[in-house]
Structure formats: structure tokens, C-alpha cells
Structure 1
Amino acid sequence: MPGIWFFDLDNTLHNASHAIFGGMDERINQWIIQHLQVGAAEADRIRREHWRRYGATLIGLVRHHGVDGLQYLEDTHRFDPRPLMRFERGLALKLAPLPGRKMLLTNAPSIYSRRVMAELDLDRRFHGHVAIDHMRVFGQFAPKPSKRMLRQLLARHRIQPHQAVLVEDSVANLKAARAIGMRTVLVRGYTRGAVRSSGYVPAHSAHQSGRASCVDCCVHSVAHLRRKAWLISSLDRTLADV
């Protein structure tokens, strides 16, 4: 059985595409406009480009614009997400039968992720909470899809890659996890729903029409994982040469 399930947060445990992502994008754009002194179109371009290149806009802003990363996270995520949330009720009970420990692994900051996890009633049911402000390698921010960060995380918990499962809506993050020998589950429901309803592919999520080679298992919702646990635990995996 897998030792640890690492769960992403947005568009994995809840529907961030419903209302949260749009507002968050606007807050980030406004922050960039104010602090980098650029126009609206340029701010939007900067946000999108850094996210696509690094997996988190934060990294590009720190590396290329010298911003205070922690202040940026505080400024852009200082809001109450609860009125904007949509999620499956009873999620805690549906995840309870999964074998092994459960941890949150999110590129969102803890100021936001802890509020969301509390609303989901998962905060006290998970064994750990790793947010982007905790993801550091040699003192530098290293969020998903950093392979170095993932290896460091597994070493900290004294677990082999094949004993860990990453549950995500992002194929790029799953690809990194698969490359170091972790098992991978793609959650498609919330991203697909956003595409069907508006035709808009959220920049934060990876929309995949087919099944990528880095994906061991696909589910519409994390609530369906208990039906797939037997498959995940029986995967015949060869560890990557790390």
C-alpha cells in the first residue's frame, strides 16, 4: 500500500475554477501593476508567462523582479475564500478509507490553504500541510514541479518514491513526480467542468484531452479514489534512477 498520499488543493480538493481563480488572477494582476509600475495588459502577460515557465508566478517575480516573495503571497491571498468555494460534501469521510497517510502539497500559500482546508473539514484529518511558503531548497522557493523539492520532501518523511502518490489536476506536476518514481493520479473533473462551461482553460490547471504517459490513474473526483486504491497499490513500478 502507498505510504503517503500527497494531495494538491485547487481544482483537486475543491472547485477553484468556479470563482476563486478569476478573482485571484485579478488580485495578482493589480499587485503587479502597483509594484512593477506596468499597464494592465503587461501585468497579465507577466503573470501568465511566469506561471507557465516556473509553475508559480511567485518564482518569476522573485527571480526577475526582486520582489519580496512572502509579502507578495500575503498581499495577493489576504481574502476569505469560503464564500467563493464549491466542493463535494462529506469529502473527509470519502477519503478516510484510503490506506496510508494524507498530506496537502499545494503551490498556494498557507494563509489561503489553511482556510480552505478548514472549510473542507480536512485540516485535522491530514497528517501534514506543505504550502508554497514551506517549499524551499537551499533557501530558495522551489514549488511544484520541482523534482529537487519532491525528493527532499520524501527524504524528510523517510519514504521511497514508489510508496508515495501525488494527486493533482496539473499534468506538469504529475510528470515531475512520475520522473522520480512516484505514483500519479490525475483529477480531471473541475478543470473539465470549467472548459465545458466557459471554454476557458484555467492557467492554474492543466487541461488534458488524452491520458498522458506520466499518469498512472485518472479520476473525475478525489471522492472516487477509494474505488481506485486497489489499482494504485498494485502498480508494478520501476523506480527512476535518482
Structure 2
Amino acid sequence: MTNDSGCHERIFFFDIDNCLYSPELGIDRLMKERIFALGRDIGLDSHSVEDTCNNYYKDYGLTVRGLVKHHGVDAAAFNGQVNGSLPIESLISPDPALRQMLLSIKTRRWAFTNADIDHARRVLKSLEVDDLFEGITFCDYSEPDFACKPERIAYEKAMREAGVVDARLCYFADDNAQNIEAAIKTGWTSVLVAKKSDKLGSATIEHHIEAIHELPLVLPHLFA
């Protein structure tokens, strides 16, 4: 999806998982359990499957990239056994405060996730904010060597799909410090959403909040 009319307007890219909802919901843990189970199902050693999957995450940005690249895992099978099996609707509730915050921001709004499109839509719908985003930049796991955060090409893809050419117009919120650092290098104004006890990454991180609802505290000029 593109929006040429908005190419000169400020735009806010929002990560979805563990950013628009609290990581305390445990969705990340459930996802990892399913990924490890899939690894065992395709023949990875049960004693080292967690290390193998975690190394793929570090090397490729997403575990699924390593599973596809080195083990021929089918993207549809991955989505079915991992993302598609998550009980999103029973874990994530509508968030009126999030909705109000998004409505009050004086920029365009765009979702930017490393998840697949179906998972992204399920989460946004469960939060009841799916109607507030112009579009979603997502990962198509069926594409060979698909781009994902924190690769620079992923940020360029998000800008291209959103129809924006000036990085100085881009704002970004994510729970992953590496993703934030990559966005800063791309020229985006970025906000890390994470508990203070979590690893915050390098000193280059511009803004830090513990929950997405606190966004107006660090970027007050963007809100009505």
C-alpha cells in the first residue's frame, strides 16, 4: 500500500508485538515454545533446539529465516504451527487508552512488524485499533531472504510502502533496542518501549518509555 499524497507529511511507524501490548501477556513466551516445538518436529536435536533457534534469531533477525534457509521449513507450515496457533483473541483485550493516544497523534500512522500479515491483523483487531493504521509493512515468510528489522532494507521498504521519501519525517516506536538503533541510523526519530530493567542497547537511543501509552511524554509536539 502506498500513499503518495502523504509523502511530505510526518508519519509514525509502530511496531506491534510487545510494543502496542504489554510483554507481560506472555505471547512472546508462547511463540518461542511453538518455535522450539517446530524445530524438534523437523529434526533439530532436542537438547540444542533452543540454542539453534536463538542463534538464528541473532543471525537473521527472525528465527523463521534460519529455519527456512537451513531446514527448508515451509512458510505456511510455520505460520500455521506458530503464529496461527497463538490464542491472540483470548490474550489481548481492547485498549481504549491506546486507541485514544493513537487518535490524538498529529501524524500519519503505519504499522511496521516482523510478523506475517495475518498475525499483525489479528493483534490490531484484538486491540481494536486496526482501523487507525493506513497500512502494515510486514514480513512475507514465503519470500526468499525476505527483509526484516533491523536490516536497513526493511526500513527503506516501510518508507516506500508508506509513500514517504524523507527519513526526517519518520518516527518509530519498537521494543527492540537493535531495531531502534537501526532506525536512528536510517534517520528516523525513534522511541524504545521497554522496562528500565531490560537491556537498553547503546547510548545512541534517543527516547525511552516503559509503555506505549507514555509516548506523549517524550514527543509532546506530536500530540493535540
- What is the TM-score of this pair, normalised by structure 2? 0.84
2-side partners of 1:97 and 1:89: how far apart? 12
2-side partners of 1:73 and 1:100: how far apart? 32
2:3 corresponds to: none
Residues 53-108 of structure 1: CA distance to partner in whole angstroms, max 9, x if unpaired? 22210111122222223431232112331222367542111221111111111112
After TM superposition, the structure 1 = structure 2 runs for residues 124-203 of structure 1, keeping only pairs within 5 Å, are 124-133=131-140, 140-156=145-161, 157-189=163-195
After TM superposition, the structure 1 = structure 2 runs for residues 1-242 of structure 1, keeping only pairs within 5 Å, are 3-35=10-42, 37-79=43-85, 80-85=87-92, 88-133=95-140, 140-156=145-161, 157-189=163-195, 207-209=198-200, 212-230=202-220
Which is worse superposed, 56-65 or 69-78?
A: 69-78
Long gaps (5+) in structure 2: 1-7
> Is the CA contact 1:97–1:226 (under 8 Å) kept in the aligned structure 2?
no
- The 1:182/1:134 distance shift into structure 2, 3 A limit, reads farther
1:134 deviates by: 7.8
- The 1:55/1:187 distance shift into structure 2, 3 A limit, reads same
Q: Percent identity?
A: 24
> Is the CA contact 2:112–2:158 (under 8 Å) kept in the aligned structure 1?
no
1-side partners of 2:179 and 2:222: how far apart? 18
Task: Return structure 1 stretches of 4+ with deviation > 6 angstroms.
Answer: none
Count of aligned positions = 214
2-side partners of 1:75 and 1:143: how far apart? 20
What CA RMSD, in Å, does the superposition of the two structures yield over aligned residues? 2.5
Long gaps (5+) in structure 1: 196-206, 234-242
Which is worse superposed, 220-229 or 172-181?
A: 220-229
SS of the counterpart of 1:24? helix
Which is worse superposed, 37-46 or 170-179?
A: 37-46
- What is the TM-score of this pair, normalised by structure 1? 0.79
